[in-house]
Amino acid sequence: MIGEDGVWELRPRRSGIAMSLAAALALVVGGVYAGGAIGWTAAVFFGVVSLGLVRQLRTGRALVRVDPDGLTLGGWGATLRQRRLLWHEVQGIILWTRIERGERLDLLSAVPSSFLDPDAGPTEPAEVTAALLEHSTPLVDCRLDADELRVALDGAHVEVEVVDRRPPR
């Protein structure tokens, strides 16, 4: 849903974190009930884990943020750094699927304007994939419909083409 200020965010569902939190709290109760050194150690350990999970539930960052000024892609993998691209730097947005080790991973990639420069852009398939991954964020634990993204871009008054290359599920 687009806010009054033209901002739209895609956030992951938090059901996995919520289930982990419930399990950790159950183990805290079990540790207290068991008593003794092992029980209390388990209770303290899972209590600390619970605090971390509560923090994740409250402060989860958006995977994608669309606003009138630009596009923000959430961090993933080894780096949690978010990448911000202004709209004049973005040629288009591609929704695509990468299959690695038998696992399907849907990605959203921003295609920078420099990517299409015939003199400076990547030419080899491996270079193209690496360049796309540099400006990508995985669509993990969420669903994104291309039409929903187009509506968000219209709401932000942005003229960027969205191409959906994901195979049907």
- pTM for this entry: 0.65
pLDDT digits 0-9 by tens, 23-33 = 888 888 888 88
Mean pLDDT, the chain, rounded, equals 77
1 pLDDT higher than 60: no
Residue 85's DSSP bridge partners are 71
> What is the three-class DSSP state of 104?
strand
Predicted local confidence at residue 78, as pLDDT: 42
Map tokens 């730097």 to a residue: 89
What amino acid is encoded at 1 in this protein? M
Highest mean pLDDT among 33-42, 73-82, 132-141: 33-42
Choice between 161 and 16, residue whose per-residue pLDDT is larger: 161
Averaged pLDDT, 47-67: 76
Residue written as token pair 């183990």: 27
Q: 6 Cβ partners below 8 Å, 6+ apart?
A: 67, 68, 155, 156, 157
Higher pLDDT among residues 15 and 43, named by residue:
43
